[in-house]
Structure 1
């Protein structure tokens, strides 16, 4: 099998890699440590959300829905919806998330509305995983041992999210190798998206997954550009994208640059 990194690079992919590697190199020489960097990127995204004041907040791959719980308090005028496909996770957290004012939905976001197979790994890289771990996905992990497959309800974003004229959206996406399924399910929603915090991989971890450059290329087609990223695991990290018009706002970019400054 050929290495994905051997494929020809488009200009869009090369531009994204330049952004990503610049941020990674700057992060490694910054006095801000990795945990603090992750928190600062999160804080920056929350700041963006408060600045945007969206009508709709989506958390896809929510698990315990911590971002949605924050949004429900910080953005009281927004409709906050958290999607969690794993029925074991959903059953564990549904009461407390619902009490927090969040619509906590036992749905997989996918290219079709109906049903889809969800993989619940019992072992990854020799390490046992519980049925309610974060690693459930419609994709298959490359180092999965034993696993359980369940059929769960699925929905396209564009079939589910109804937006009035002028309403804007922010989203948090953490879907374990299934970014392609999520992003392809909602072109109309993506066109109304002002900011997104999304977990990506720079090397393949899941079978057939989109890499960070694939995600960047797709989001660029909807007018979204990367402005900040963190350091997480090797080849796995979070990126903040914003609507291109927001890049012209000096404060938006100044706040991004401040992520790497010492306290």
Structure 2
């Protein structure tokens, strides 16, 4: 995937640090599971549902270096706005993002209501992990079982916002 996208775009010219690297709870190396037998298989095993987690019925391969958000952004001043779409590996990425999340003001995160991936966190687990620091305030309607949720610090939300009412 990295090779495909870097051959098409000069990310450095755009000011983007695009790495052949995964994010998880601990630095080191991890097996990144790449679909190899999907009916919708795209060019060079590039597909939008590769993950750190196994999905039932697909073939997999590949190792990649892994970093944590806390380590990668330790020297960055923040605050941060972050879009997170990690194909079910939310627990693994958020586990390595404690201090990063303390400096994150806005987060868009893809979540699932039913498991697509083995041992994944579902939407309620994500909301619980983020606690009262980042409040869920909106969601889209991607599908019934998978959607994006927007979280923000309370200071960015209307004064009458009530997180107990849930995401309508």
Tell me the TM-score normalized by structure 2: 0.85
Paired with 1:155 and 1:249, the residues of 2 have a C-alpha distance of 37
The structure, 1 or 2, with the larger RCO (C-alpha pairs under 8 Å, 6+ apart) is 1
How far is 1:90 from its partner?
A: 1.1
**Residues 1:203 and 2:114 aligned together:** yes
How far is 1:249 from its partner?
A: 5.7
- Which ranges of structure 1 fall in alignment gaps of 5 or more residues? 1-88, 254-259
Paired with 1:164 and 1:116, the residues of 2 have a C-alpha distance of 25
1:230 counterpart residue number: 140
- Which ranges of structure 2 fall in alignment gaps of 5 or more residues? 162-167
1:217 counterpart residue number: 128
How far is 1:149 from its partner?
A: 1.2
**Residues 1:132 and 2:46 aligned together:** yes
1:7 counterpart residue number: none
Paired with 1:232 and 1:182, the residues of 2 have a C-alpha distance of 22
Pairing partner for 1:141 from 51, 55, 64: 55
| Matched residue SS, 1:182 | helix
Paired with 2:64 and 2:109, the residues of 1 have a C-alpha distance of 23
2:72 counterpart residue number: 160
Pairing partner for 2:26 from 112, 121, 124: 112
2:89 counterpart residue number: 178
Pairing partner for 1:100 from 6, 11, 14: 14
More deviation, 240-249/176-185: 240-249
Q: Which has the higher helix share?
A: 1
Paired with 1:100 and 1:170, the residues of 2 have a C-alpha distance of 19
| Matched residue SS, 1:177 | coil
- Deviating above 3 A after TM superposition, structure 1's stretches of 4 or more consecutive aligned residues are none
Pairing partner for 1:123 from 37, 44, 49: 37
Post-superposition CA distance 1:27-59 (Å, at most 9, x none): xxxxxxxxxxxxxxxxxxxxxxxxxxxxxxxxx
| Matched residue SS, 1:245 | helix
Post-superposition CA distance 1:225-258 (Å, at most 9, x none): 01111111230001110012222468xx7xxxxx
Provide the aligned length of Structure 1 versus Structure 2: 158
**Residues 1:244 and 2:154 aligned together:** yes
Q: CA RMSD in A?
A: 2.0
How far is 1:212 from its partner?
A: 0.3
